[in-house]
Amino acid sequence: MWNSFGFEFVNFYFIPGLVLGCIYALGAIGITLTFSILRFANFAHGETMMTGAYLTWTVMAVCSGILGISVHPLLAAVPATLLVVLLFLVTDRYFYKPFRKADTIKVVMASFGMMLIIRSAVQVIWGPNQLTFIPGIAKPNPTLMDWSKSVDLLLLIPNKHLFIFAGTIVFVMALSYLLNRTRIGKAMRAVSDSPDLAHVTGIDVNQVIRATWIVGGACAMAAGVFLAMDIQMLETTMGFRMLLPMFAAAILGGIGKPYGAVFGGLVIGLAEELSAYPWLGDGPLLSPGYKTGVAFAIMVVMLIIRPQGLFKGRSF
Amino acid sequence: MTNPILSLNNLRAGYGQTEILHDLSMHVNPNEIVAVIGPNGAGKSTAIKSVLGLLNISEGEVQLHGKNITNTPAAKVVELGISYVPQTNNVFVNLSVEENLEMGAWTRPVGIPERLDEMYALFPDLAEKRNQTAGSLSGGQRQMLAMAKALMVDARILLLDEPTAGLSPKYRGEIFGTIQKIKKTGVPILIVEQNAKQALAVSDRGYVLVDGANRHTGKGSDLLADREIASMFLGGGH
């Protein structure tokens, strides 16, 4: 039943594509929320992801080195998330707030500046060289491998990928609950709809902005830690490299549409991985070096033929 | 003499350096509907926006129950009990009817289920469409929703900016009927309108604005009967 084609396609292209898609999806949620509520494209989002991963590594290193306890990255990510959210709130209060009524291009340029500030700060604190996030080779989950083998559908999925899938599902469900069931979530959608009307309706727009940074920060944090879990190392440009695919995901889904960002992230992740599959002949259809080019191409095509995205977001 | 709920005293206000309101004064007493009519560009909507703190007041005072609220930010004005329905873009189109109403109660987050029931009783059409997005409603239904949203708080006064603009005659009649129903609940209303005849017909008093200043003031019925006003602003004499 599971011929070599299916085995190779699923285990070496489709599942890695989904993993990458999950990371893009979480990152794109933050980008799309910031764009729809604060009305600017936050170029510093990737660096926030990267900072989150470095902070998580630091918590793990402190626990292991000082306390002698080995902590799972997802546990270490909890205190690191608080720090990242605090970083978001502080930058909003002292950096972005003075730009609140400025032209969008000024805020975008300011976020570009913030991106450079954060990256430089990380390089000063942790150094410019790569760090190992998790050492060793990730082995496939034995239970899943044995079970899938018994039904003749061998799946080689390491635990880190199962955690990424489960974590993404939990995050998206929590986001759905927040936006549809809670007062602050509905207010976030209202401000996204019309900030002026929200203002004269009496909605505390500043509170909504703070909530947006918290949610966006938590999603960026999760995306950063998942990325570090996946590639098992840290480097200061890891967030920046994610920026283009995450923007592509947000645009594909429709700017301002969180579910669109999730869908867009999965599509971009899968498209990048599947573009390297040997669809014609024995060699990869596209060299893996062009993966980011696939995301860029999708973004350009969407902006030309359907700028409002698949989920009818804002158009440019 | 009754103390007014809202009063605008000798206001000078505008956008940037451009002054639109020149020494404008008006007031709204408890339990009355007051109409503000006048030609395009007379400053009718500007008068309402000056109450909301949406533009700069250079001279004069806005008072709520005798308390000075001049240049108070809009969110704070709403918190004080002044509810405002803008002329356009007055509902959150991607939120459901019920979510819109909940957002209207942002400054009064207690007793929302009871308040929703009251609004559905006052606006029965909305009850049937409570789970529909506001963007799927007709123009008249959107205006109803916008008014209901504004009434979700304990409004001391309701400010309506051209609520019948762009609506069919049928919906215009319904909106004015609803405005009278709202008055019966004890909420005074200041209404800016282009449909001057209908607005004055349901109003206790009216102000005729020209070039950002009061031209005429009086009872709604008296203004309707005035030949000069009829010829200038109501589309012909009697």
Assigned domain for A148 exists: yes
Look at residue B93 and tell me whether its pLDDT is greater than 60: yes
Assigned domain for A283 exists: yes
Residue numbers of the domain that contains A86: 4-129+142-305
Question: A313: which chain B residues are within 8 Å (Cβ-Cβ)?
Answer: none
Q: What is the pLDDT of residue B237?
A: 44
Assigned domain for A267 exists: yes
Strand B157-161 versus strand B82-85 pairing type: parallel
**Domains: count for chain A:** 1
Residue B226 pLDDT level (bands cut at 50, 70, 90): confident
**Is the separation of the CB atoms in A260 and A36 below 8 Å?**
no
Sign of CA dihedral B14, B73, A106, A209: negative
Give the Cα separation of A240 and A226 in Å (integer).
15
- Each residue's pLDDT tens digit, B185-217: 999 999 999 888 889 999 999 999 999 988 889
Closest CA to B104 of A92, A74, A64, A187: A187
Q: Do A200 and B153 make contact, defined as CB atoms within 8 angstroms? A: no
- For B74, the closest of A190, A193, A200 (CB atoms) is A200
Residue A312 pLDDT level (bands cut at 50, 70, 90): confident
Amino acid in position A245:
P
Give, for B190, the enclosing helix (H) or strand (E).
strand B189-192
Residues 12 through 51 of chain B touching chain A, CB cutoff 8 Å: none
- Residue A119, φ and ψ in degrees, nearest 5: -65, -45
Residue B238 pLDDT level (bands cut at 50, 70, 90): very low
Instruction: Give, as one character, the DSSP assignment of residue A242.
Output: H
**Is the separation of the CB atoms in A154 and A148 below 8 Å?**
yes
Question: A190: which chain B residues are within 8 Å (Cβ-Cβ)?
Answer: 92, 95, 99, 103
- Each residue's pLDDT tens digit, A69-128: 999 999 999 999 999 999 889 999 999 999 988 898 999 999 999 999 999 999 999 999
Distant-in-sequence, close-in-space partners of A30: CB < 8 Å, separation ≥ 6: A42, A45, A48, A215, A216, A217, A219, A220, A223
Q: What is the pLDDT of residue A316?
A: 52
Q: What is the pLDDT of residue A1?
A: 56
Question: B153: which chain A residues are within 8 Å (Cβ-Cβ)?
Answer: 202
Closest CA to A34 of A171, A220, A184, A201: A220
Instruction: Give, as one character, the DSSP assignment of residue A156.
Output: -
Give the Cα separation of A55 and A83 in Å (integer).
8
Assigned domain for A230 exists: yes
Residue A151 pLDDT level (bands cut at 50, 70, 90): confident
Give the Cα separation of B149 and B213 in Å (integer).
31
Q: What is the mean pLDDT of residues A228-239?
A: 96
- For B103, the closest of A187, A192, A196 (CB atoms) is A187
Q: What is the mean pLDDT of residues B91-101?
A: 96
- Each residue's pLDDT tens digit, A5-57: 788 899 999 999 999 999 999 999 999 999 999 989 999 999 999 999 999 99
Number of Cβ atoms within 10 Å of the Cβ of A162? 14
Kindly identify which residue of chain B lies nearest to residue A199, measuring between CA atoms: B75
Look at residue B236 and tell me whether its pLDDT is greater than 60: no
Average pLDDT, chain A: 92
Instruction: Give, as one character, the DSSP assignment of residue A139.
Output: P
**Is the separation of the CB atoms in B52 and A200 below 8 Å?**
yes
Domains and CATH numbers, chain B: 6-87+153-233 (3.40.50.300)
- Each residue's pLDDT tens digit, B123-165: 999 999 999 999 999 999 999 999 999 999 989 999 999 999 8
- For B109, the closest of A183, A193, A197 (CB atoms) is A183
Q: Which residue has the tokens 């930058």?
A: A91
Assigned domain for A314 exists: no
- Each residue's pLDDT tens digit, B213-223: 888 898 988 88
Assigned domain for A135 exists: no
Q: Which of A200, A205, A206, A208 to mutate to test the interface with B (most CBs of B within 10 A)?
A: A200
Assigned domain for A312 exists: no
| CA distance between the termini of chain B | 34
- B26 pairs with which residues across the strands? B8
Sign of CA dihedral A308, A214, B112, B67: negative
Helix-helix angle A183-193:A159-181, to 10 degrees: 80
Residue B40 pLDDT level (bands cut at 50, 70, 90): confident
Closest CA to A34 of A43, A42, A24, A26: A42
Which CATH number is A162's domain given? 1.10.3470
B94 and chain A: CB distance < 8 Å anywhere? yes
Assigned domain for A99 exists: yes
Q: What is the pLDDT of residue B108?
A: 83
Number of Cβ atoms within 10 Å of the Cβ of A231? 16
| CA distance between the termini of chain A | 47
Q: Which of B95, B101, B106, B152 to mutate to test the interface with A (most CBs of A within 10 A)?
A: B106
- Each residue's pLDDT tens digit, A256-296: 889 999 999 999 999 999 999 888 888 888 888 888 899 88
Residue A2 pLDDT level (bands cut at 50, 70, 90): low
Give the Cα separation of A73 and A71 in Å (integer).
6
